[in-house]
Amino acid sequence: MQTVVLAAGEGTRMRPLTAAQPKPMLPVAGKPLLEHTLDRAVEAGADRLIVVVGYESDRVQDHFGSHHGGVDLEYAVQEQQRGTADAVSAAAPLLDDEAFVVLNGDALYDPASLETLYSNGPAVGSYRVDNPSAYGVLQLADDDDTRITGVVEKPATPESNLINTGAYVFPAAAQELLGVETSERGELELTDVLEAVCNQFSVTAVPFDRWLDVGRPWELLAANEWLLESLSTRLDGEVHDGADLSGPVVVEEGATVKSGVCIEGPVYVDSGATVGPNAYVRGSTYLGPGAKVGNAVEVKNSILMAEATVGHLSYVGDSVLGQRVNFGAGTKVANLRHDGEAVRLTVKGERVSTGRRKLGVIVGDDAKTGINTSLNAGVVLGTGMTTQPGEVLTHDRWE
């Protein structure tokens, strides 16, 4: 089935990690988020892919080219980000006069549920959450607990905890509904298209066993944790005899694990990365291309993007380090509040709860720390920011 994948947004809630790359291209478990979504779409039955791009669009097109998983891949450009329906409108000239699927390029869907969605159109993916007021809540028909009649965006008093996952199978006629009136937010929304489709067709709510909207930095860690659950050991790179590897570990060709290193999987070491000597890497950790974990360093449950370096005598836990970040010797990351409360993080200028008991730091591209820097739990270090030797950073540094 022809499938439109939305990947045009800037991802402002993911800042500073998206300062120079679109959110769907952020890496988890060895691939960009978008690539994991495309993989699952092809597995579910997509026979044609149309990716809607916008912000930093060249990065997407250069990475994927014109095919993915044996399926033709085309691009549509959303010139201005005016909403999800507007994004699909950009792809409409490429669509055949048939039913079509719409997926978010920065969301993860469990494969079995996604396959069910593909075979049950018109349909929308549904999921039950503890905080439905933060999402679009699906309205069910009184006489049928699988048929929906509409969706209410972020209601103060939700009727249920069944929410919209942003995965749709629309009939061909929905292409004529993409120019619906703007929402209260001044955007063209797919939820309004869904409402219009519900007025003309029977729309099924397909329950998802698992789903994750990756919109904020700690959700990138959650995505990495999920995807590394299915990791199988593969050692194509150089692993010295004195290294101790346990659990599922991937060491890509061109990567090096030196003597004295202890790795407790699931851990993914990408091409060109080096670990050790005498380092400890554990938890759901992804070391990107060219990343370096040096002598006497411990990295736990973290993402180090391309060419990020934690040189020696440092600790990094439950953190995301952007491209070319360089931690000076003795840099220590705190990842736990003394009061036991969930760690808070700044998102679009506001401190919000992450819901995570353990969370370290989020560090933008090209940031550097001086030796013996201490970074408190929930600190954000912006793109290109630095710290002084011996500095204790308890608040964000964006400029």
User: What are the residue ranges spanned by the domains of the chain?
Assistant: 2-215, 227-393
Examine the pLDDT at 187 and tell me if it is beyond 80: no
pLDDT for 35-67, tens place per residue?
A: 999 999 999 999 999 999 998 888 999 999 888
pLDDT for 259-294, tens place per residue?
A: 999 999 999 999 999 999 999 999 999 999 999 999
Omega of the bond leading into 122 within 30 degrees of 0 (cis):
yes
Average pLDDT over residues 189-212: 90
Examine the pLDDT at 188 and tell me if it is beyond 90: no
pLDDT for 68-116, tens place per residue?
A: 888 999 999 998 877 888 899 899 999 999 999 999 999 999 999 999 9
Average pLDDT over residues 313-331: 97
Percentage of the chain beyond pLDDT 90 is 73
CA 254 from chain centre, in angstroms, equals 26
pLDDT for residue 147:
87
The residues that bridge with 353 in the sheet, in sequence order, are 344
pLDDT for 342-371, tens place per residue?
A: 999 999 889 999 999 999 999 999 999 999
Helix (H) or strand (E) holding 118: helix 111-118
Residue 144 binned pLDDT confidence (cut-offs 50, 70, 90): low
pLDDT for residue 185:
55
Q: Other CB atoms closer than 10 Å to residue 56's CB: what's the count? A: 17
pLDDT for residue 272:
98
Which two three-digit tokens encode residue 205?
A: 């709510």
Examine the pLDDT at 207 and tell me if it is beyond 80: yes
CA distance 195 to 149: 7
Examine the pLDDT at 186 and tell me if it is beyond 70: no
pLDDT for 227-256, tens place per residue?
A: 999 999 999 999 999 999 999 999 999 999
pLDDT for 370-397, tens place per residue?
A: 999 999 999 999 999 999 999 999 999 9
Helix (H) or strand (E) holding 60: helix 57-64
| SS3 of residue 127 by DSSP | strand
Q: Considering just the CA atoms, what is the radius of gyration of the chain in Å?
A: 22
pLDDT for residue 180:
59
Mean pLDDT across the chain: 92
Q: Classify domain 2-215 by CATH number.
A: 3.90.550.10
pLDDT for residue 371:
96
Span of 190-194, 276-280, 290-294, 300-304 with lowest mean pLDDT: 190-194
pLDDT for residue 11:
85
- In terms of pLDDT, which residue wins out, 48 or 399? 48
Active-site residues, by number, are 312
pLDDT for residue 178:
76
Nearest to 366 by CA among 307, 312, 316, 310: 307
In CATH, which superfamily holds the domain spanning 227-393? Hexapeptide repeat proteins (2.160.10.10)
| SS3 of residue 196 by DSSP | helix
> What residue has token string 């020696």?
312
CA distance 153 to 138: 9
